[in-house]
């Protein structure tokens, strides 16, 4: 493929079409406040996929689905034996989510396919769009469910048995969904891919603040979640002397304050969050008998993450006073490093197209994390307003979305002709 | 009245009868875990009063009720013009309360009346038992409702219009209650009393820990309640750098930790409690946008209470970081000092009867607080196991309850012949 051909494809990426499709897709599950409520396997999610299949079948692309409901849409290549270059993200949203988180990755991949078709450019490898099932994990836990089952890091049986708050299992919801989604074929988990690329809004404030259009994502930070339970004793707030109290909230407050100080780093790389704290009985005139809180700790460096996380129990113990404390690690996820060759292609495309770009680590988890162990993988970020996502006010500009799609197009075309 | 007569009355206080009545009373609203659920104006509360009226009418005592449902039961004196000496507490309980909180004060007063009757001793002043309506404030807020209306510190109209969680007003519930309670007469608010005495379990651990049987209560500590609202901004826990966060919980934690340090006093007299803390959205991977907490601050010294409470807003402001904070004082109650002559009588009776006794301040609020502004008032405390109350495991011994009743008997007889 010549540079002229790449330029033709990149030039065929249409900002207006890409934006219009975001707006049409956002109609499925649209909320009064301008957001999207399109949780996995709901009727709105099914409608969104039907719309995607309508657009893609019109262009002659073929579709397939796997046993956990991941949807693949293929534009054929010239070499029938070549593994596909796959790109996509997810059409499901948070219950009070936005128009761009996930949808952008799917629609950007579609824009690349349509640009190739409009420019009448063939590729050696087939190119596939993927819509991973249930990335958000709101209705059915955990997050990145479809891509994890695909990568066989989550067992299918367990996942199918997982129920939502109303007791509906993934198995039941998926069976219902499949009656309304007609695909040309079925796919196996972990089928060979030449590469995987995912475009996404940053979900953080860095690109906007530094006036960069493209985030060249070099990896996804690692994560450790902890649940801390502090047990003291309920007592009357008016009559119980301080010396006789076993105040679970007072102990928890001291632990959290100490953890904040311990996690402080000058470079502001550590992500340490106590997002949830529950107090019992939570009555103004009763000394709390129980307090429980969560820790969400993230860092791109595996060793730093291990070291910081391993200190949490020790710090909680040291500040438990007369209370008892238990620290349980509930989720552990190692940092991901994306393939240097893929990262290099994205960097090259961004520079070539003269977009202001920077390398960055993804703070959030994405389906690309599941894929990184299977094939050369990478991600492209574009800015979102105020770094806000998982929120109905989530916003991105047509120009930035198009820029991300053009960089994606160049990287995909390179990979699909390698 | 001679010392012999006092000894006769004190000797006529029957530990077995007093204990048996506590057990019979605890049957009304008995919970499976051995506690009592007998909120104000419920059917169980009405049954408890019917039982009390059955016991007292058998002895020829007369009954009367006022417009907020406070119940008075009188044993006549020899001087028809003399104001009554009044003693009692409340038969209503917490929703998961115990057998002794409130009931003891009513049954101890009844025991004094019956001891006088059994000993055939007449007094100059009439003596009345009072059962104040809704001391606990669980079903209808606020606490000490009946005694506050009696003392005209709460307006009757407002209180009658107060609704419970099901929308039933005090007026409706009281009207229903009155169809089932037959009294001999009605009473006016604030009628003259010669004195008011209230016996109660301590609801704290001090008497038990110091092996004292009698608490000579010199006053009730003052109280100030505050509601603190901290507003930051929700953000993604994985993507938002520390420098960009406005973490409402982190700010609240720093405020609470600082307040604990500020409120520390060597003498352990300050009662400082953060009993309630609510976080929003309270999700492990979202930086909290809101955190609100309560402060319950108590101290027997009005000046110290004012000074400590007045620093709360300043401390919260200083530790709000990039968040906004509002501090609202929701309840203010000045300390109460009981009448020195009444306190002296209780001290004398405890010493005379050779009970180990100590002077103390009440940490909890009681109906006696409302009465202290109307007539010479005082309180007698007895130990409760582990200092635990407002709990189904609340416990006291028959001997301690009898000791409290005997001290009460001596003090009442002295006052009723003054």
Q: What was the pLDDT predicted at B287?
A: 94
Q: What was the pLDDT predicted at A3?
A: 81
The predicted model gives B231-248 an average pLDDT of: 93
Whether chain A has a CB inside 8 Å of the CB on B332: the answer is no
Domains of chain A are 3-221+335-416 (3.40.630.10), 222-333 (3.30.70.360)
The predicted model gives A53-82 an average pLDDT of: 97
Looking at the predicted structure, is the pLDDT value of residue A90 above 80? yes
Whether chain B has a CB inside 8 Å of the CB on A333: the answer is no
The pLDDT tens digits of the residues spanning B248-281 come to 999 999 999 999 999 999 999 999 999 999 999 8
**Whether A278 and B274 lie within 8 Å, measured CB to CB:** no
The beta-carbon neighbor of B277 closest among A206, A277, A389 is: A277
The distance of B354 to chain A (nearest Cα, Å) reads 26
The predicted model gives A362-370 an average pLDDT of: 95
The pLDDT tens digits of the residues spanning B103-146 come to 999 999 999 999 999 999 999 999 999 999 999 998 998 899 99
Whether chain B has a CB inside 8 Å of the CB on A279: the answer is yes
Looking at the predicted structure, is the pLDDT value of residue B1 above 80? no
Looking at the predicted structure, is the pLDDT value of residue A344 above 90? yes
**Whether A298 and B271 lie within 8 Å, measured CB to CB:** no
Whether chain B has a CB inside 8 Å of the CB on A203: the answer is yes
Looking at the predicted structure, is the pLDDT value of residue A342 above 70? yes
Q: What was the pLDDT predicted at A141?
A: 87
Which residues of chain A make contact with B276, given a CB cutoff of 8 A?
279, 282-284
Which residues of chain A make contact with B268, given a CB cutoff of 8 A?
241-243
Residue that has been written with the tokens 């006291």 in this structure: B396
Between CA A154 and CA A117, with CA A193 as vertex, the angle to 5 degrees is 125
The beta-carbon neighbor of B275 closest among A268, A284, A363 is: A284
High-pLDDT (> 90) share of chain B, %: 91
What count of other Cβ atoms lies within 10 Å of the Cβ of residue B10?
Answer: 21
High-pLDDT (> 90) share of chain A, %: 91
The pLDDT tens digits of the residues spanning B33-42 come to 999 999 999 9
Looking at the predicted structure, is the pLDDT value of residue B173 above 90? yes
**Cα separation of the two ends of chain B:** 9
**Whether A390 and B247 lie within 8 Å, measured CB to CB:** no
Looking at the predicted structure, is the pLDDT value of residue A1 above 70? no
**Whether B240 and A271 lie within 8 Å, measured CB to CB:** yes
Mean pLDDT in chain B? Answer: 96
Comparing alpha-carbon positions, the chain A residue that sits nearest to B330 is A284
Which residues of chain A make contact with B390, given a CB cutoff of 8 A?
236, 286
The predicted model gives A334-362 an average pLDDT of: 97
Mean pLDDT in chain A? Answer: 96
Q: What was the pLDDT predicted at A354?
A: 97
pLDDT tier at A138 (50, 70, 90 boundaries)? confident
- Assess contact for B259 and B400: CB atoms under 8 A: no
**Whether B253 and A256 lie within 8 Å, measured CB to CB:** yes
The pLDDT tens digits of the residues spanning B314-371 come to 999 999 999 999 999 988 999 999 999 999 999 999 999 999 999 999 999 999 999 9
**Whether B296 and A276 lie within 8 Å, measured CB to CB:** no
Task: Identify the burial level of A293 via C-beta atoms within 10 angstroms of its C-beta, where 0-12 means exposed, 13-18 middle and 19 or more buried.
Answer: buried
- Alpha carbon of residue B286 to chain centroid: 41
Whether chain A has a CB inside 8 Å of the CB on B249: the answer is yes
**Whether B275 and A256 lie within 8 Å, measured CB to CB:** no
Mutate to test the interface with A, among B202, B233, B237, B282 (most CBs of A within 10 A): B237
The distance of A63 to chain B (nearest Cα, Å) reads 34
Phi, psi for B196 (deg, rounded to 5):
-130, 130
Residue that has been written with the tokens 């066989």 in this structure: A152
**Whether A274 and B250 lie within 8 Å, measured CB to CB:** yes
Q: What was the pLDDT predicted at B390?
A: 85
**Whether B285 and A274 lie within 8 Å, measured CB to CB:** no
Comparing alpha-carbon positions, the chain B residue that sits nearest to A284 is B275
> A310-335 burial string, b = 16+ CB within 10 Å, else e?
eebbebbeebbbebebebeeeeebeb
**Whether B239 and A364 lie within 8 Å, measured CB to CB:** yes
ipTM of the complex: 0.84
Calpha distance B57→B75 (Å, rounded)? 10
High-pLDDT (> 70) share of chain A, %: 100
- Assess contact for B39 and B49: CB atoms under 8 A: no
**Whether A203 and B239 lie within 8 Å, measured CB to CB:** yes
Mutate to test the interface with A, among B239, B241, B251, B387 (most CBs of A within 10 A): B239
The predicted model gives B12-24 an average pLDDT of: 98
- List the one residue out of A225, A227, A228, A284 whose CA is nearest residue A251: A228
Q: What was the pLDDT predicted at B285?
A: 87
Alpha-carbon distances, residue A312 vs A307, A308, A323 (angstroms): 9, 7, 16
Calpha distance B366→B278 (Å, rounded)? 29
Looking at the predicted structure, is the pLDDT value of residue B2 above 90? no
Comparing alpha-carbon positions, the chain A residue that sits nearest to B243 is A268
Q: What was the pLDDT predicted at A390?
A: 85
Whether chain A has a CB inside 8 Å of the CB on B241: the answer is yes
Looking at the predicted structure, is the pLDDT value of residue B80 above 80? yes
pLDDT tier at A391 (50, 70, 90 boundaries)? confident
- Assess contact for B259 and B298: CB atoms under 8 A: no
**Whether A203 and B249 lie within 8 Å, measured CB to CB:** no
């Amino acid at each position: 493929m010549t540079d002229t051909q790449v330029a033709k494809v990149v030039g065929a990426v249409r900002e207006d079409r890409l934006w219009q499709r975001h707006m049409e897709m956002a109609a499925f599950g649209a909320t009064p406040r301008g957001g999207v409520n399109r949780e996995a396997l709901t009727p709105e999610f099914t409608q969104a996929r039907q719309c995607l299949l309508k657009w893609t079948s019109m262009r002659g692309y073929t579709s397939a689905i796997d046993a956990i409901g991941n949807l693949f849409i293929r534009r054929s290549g010239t070499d029938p034996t070549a593994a596909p270059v796959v790109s996509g993200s997810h059409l499901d949203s948070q219950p009070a989510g936005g128009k761009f988180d996930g949808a952008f990755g799917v629609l950007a991949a579609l824009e690349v396919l349509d640009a190739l078709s409009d420019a009448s450019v063939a590729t050696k490898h087939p190119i596939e769009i993927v819509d991973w099932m249930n990335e958000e994990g709101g209705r059915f836990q955990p997050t990145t469910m479809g891509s994890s089952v695909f990568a066989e890091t989550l067992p299918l049986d367990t996942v199918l048995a997982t129920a939502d708050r109303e007791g509906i299992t993934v198995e039941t919801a998926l069976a219902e969904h499949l009656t309304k989604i007609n695909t040309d074929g079925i796919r196996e988990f972990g089928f060979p891919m030449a590469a995987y690329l995912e475009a996404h809004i940053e979900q953080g404030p860095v690109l906007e603040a530094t006036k960069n259009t493209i985030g060249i994502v070099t990896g996804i930070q690692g994560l450790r979640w902890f649940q801390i339970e502090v047990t003291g004793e309920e007592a009357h707030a008016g009559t119980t002397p301080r010396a006789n109290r076993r105040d679970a909230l007072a102990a928890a407050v001291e632990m959290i304050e100490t953890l904040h100080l311990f996690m402080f780093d000058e470079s502001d790389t550590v992500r340490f969050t106590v997002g949830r704290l529950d107090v019992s009985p939570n009555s103004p005139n009763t000394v709390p008998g129980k307090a429980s809180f969560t820790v969400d700790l993230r860092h791109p460096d595996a060793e730093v993450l291990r070291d910081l996380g391993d200190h949490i129990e020790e710090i909680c113990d040291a500040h438990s006073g007369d209370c008892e404390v238990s620290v349980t690690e509930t989720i552990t996820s190692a940092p991901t490093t994306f393939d240097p060759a893929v990262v290099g292609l994205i960097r090259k495309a961004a520079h070539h197209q003269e977009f202001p770009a920077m390398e960055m680590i993804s703070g959030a988890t994405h389906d690309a994390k599941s894929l990184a162990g299977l094939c050369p993988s990478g991600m492209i970020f574009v800015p979102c307003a105020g770094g806000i996502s998982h929120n109905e006010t989530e916003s991105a500009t047509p120009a930035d979305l198009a820029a991300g799609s053009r960089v994606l197009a160049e990287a995909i075309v390179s990979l699909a002709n390698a």
